[in-house]
Amino acid sequence: MTTDDCPFCAIVRSESPAIRIHEDEHTLAFLDIRPVSRGHTLVIPKRHSPNLEALPVDDGARVFAVAQRIALAMRRGPVAADGVHLVVNDGRAAMQTVFHAHMHVVPRHRGDKVSLAAGLATRRRHDPQQTGADVRAGLEPGREGEK
Ligand code: AMP
Ligand code: ZN
């Protein structure tokens, strides 16, 4: 997968639609199109790297920093998460399907095991515009755009 046929590079170039949660010079975060729970977000470096081996350390650090902020936003904002998974699937054996390195930020709620299992099976979107607004609402305004 190169930048020309990469679905995430197409989002970076605004050639494909996405519900954007955060953007800065080096990173972009947007809702997963097939969420396992409401608010499931992906954080990517804008620069294309297919996997962890190719990912420059500085891009990895930036992705983690943004994922951390979004995780906090999910806890303190309207998403009202009680917990969050930060997940990187690296390689086909680990179920990586898009070969542009990315981190999943998946909100969890107490007692959501059954709904999470259902979400894993159906991966259906629920009102993406409102969901995006709810995730963004938890971001500290003063920290937006921070590198
Ligand atoms: P992974 O299995 O870690 O490679 O996950 C790739 C994720 O990207 C999956 O959860 C997909 O639902 C998600 N995905 C694929 N294409 C898009 C897209 N165009 N916009 C948003 N999310 C996408
Ligand atoms: Zn890419």
Q: For each of the domains in the chain, give its residue range(s) and CATH number, in order of start.
A: 7-137 (3.30.428.10)
**CA-nearest residue, atom 18 of ligand 1:** 33
Q: What is the pLDDT of residue 133?
A: 97
pTM value surpassing 0.75: yes
pLDDT band of 3, cuts 50, 70, 90: confident
Check if the beta carbon of residue 138 is closer than 8 Å to that of residue 74: yes
Least confident of 34-43, 47-56, 113-122: 113-122
**What is the residue with the minimal CA distance to atom 12 of ligand 1?**
34
Q: Which helix (H) or strand (E) holds 130?
A: helix 128-137
Q: Is 132 in the pocket of ligand 1 (CB under 6 A)?
A: no
Q: Which residues are catalytic?
A: 102
Is 96 a pocket residue for ligand 1 (Cβ < 6 Å)? yes
- Beta strand extents in 14-75 (DSSP E only): 20-23, 27-31, 41-45
